[in-house]
Amino acid sequence: MQNLFSRIHRKIAQPPGTVEFVGVQKVDQVTVTVMSYDKDRIEEKDIENIEECFVYRDMKQASWINVNGLHDTELIKKLGDHFGIHPLVLEDIVHTNQRAKVEDYEDNIYVVARLLHRGEVDTEVKAEQVSFVIGPNYVLTFQERPGDVFEPVRHRLRGAKGRIRSFGPDYLAYRLIDAIVDDYFLTLERISKVIEDAEAELMQAPTPKILEHIHHVKNETIFLRNAVGPLREVVANLERGDSKLIKKNTAAYFRDVHDHTIQTIDAVNSFRDMLSGLQDLYLSSVSNRMNEVMKVLTIIATIFVPLTFVAGIYGMNFTHMPELGWRWSYPIFWIVIAVVSIGMLLFFRRKRWL
């Protein structure tokens, strides 16, 4: 399980608004791409110098500027200074341990979401911080590394499909956040399959290895809940449309994303309940197996109690024991042993103890 605060070292007593990268550097070089568009045309290019982005602040057409890599704080400060991003927002952008949140600064809106990645292990979930700055005619996105879930959005922008080219940057922000939430369902489907397999394996042969696996998956669902849960309030704030940057018709689309986040959280909570139930099922199975073993051992011990009693009597070294001198005493002894044993077995079976 990835901890949101693992390998993160934040200096104490720094002044507010200090733009210092806090996190794990995941790329060697920061890359910047721009997609500027209206309903008639689109421009897409890679940026070599950050100053090339400055012209997009005052353009009438909408622009999407995406930054991959957060360790180059000078680049981010230049971009933030030109687009009028608050220093506290710049600080949060380069601090990769932020929970999902939304902050309205009148001139722009700052949104943080957690983008999930599948790890090397089938049950492993990793999260990446994605920051959005929504302005009057632009959307800035900041990611820790290349590779995201926004390619369908880019495809629709290039093909002028749907409303995305006709609507403004607020609608673009909706599509990007919606893509992140939709990707949550893929992670949930994978975890659901893992839980089903664990349940089937548990019913066949409960082992300590399965319990360890269940515990690991449960930790991953807790991490998933911490990453996804706060996004519900973020989308709810955007849905209310209190900001002038979110149009009323776009706020209705955010309502749909809000429903999806609730479904995601409900699914995560259901997974936690299912995993807790599997843990209880494992303990019950182990307890039942132990009870069965103890039942068999108890029955065997009970059968041998009268046999030991008989053998103990005739194993005494008394002189005057007439049975010891009988010719058929030994076969009779074994007959008695057999009758007692069979009789006790029949008695246990009649009582349904066997």
Q: Domain ranges in the chain?
A: 31-284, 314-350
Report the candidate in 280, 273, 274, 285 with the shortest Cα–Cα distance to residue 206: 285
Give how far Cα 51 sits from Cα of 28, 55, 77, 145, 302, Å.
20, 8, 12, 21, 90
Contacts of 43 (CB under 8 A, 6+ apart): 34, 35, 36, 37
6 burial (CB, 10 Å; 0-12 / 13-18 / 19+) is exposed
3-state secondary structure of 110: strand
Query: Within a 13 Å sphere around the CA of 312, how many CA atoms are in the beta-carbon half?
Result: 6
142 burial (CB, 10 Å; 0-12 / 13-18 / 19+) is buried
Handedness of CA 224, 175, 144, 58 (dihedral sign): negative
Question: Can you give the pLDDT at residue 6?
Answer: 47
Query: Architecture of 31-284 per CATH?
Result: 2-Layer Sandwich (3.30)
Question: Can you give the pLDDT at residue 120?
Answer: 60
pTM of the entire predicted model: 0.79
Question: Can you give the pLDDT at residue 207?
Answer: 84
Question: Can you give the pLDDT at residue 13?
Answer: 53
| Rounded Cα distance, 248 and 30, in Å | 35
List of the chain residues with pLDDT < 50? 1-8
Question: Can you give the pLDDT at residue 73?
Answer: 92
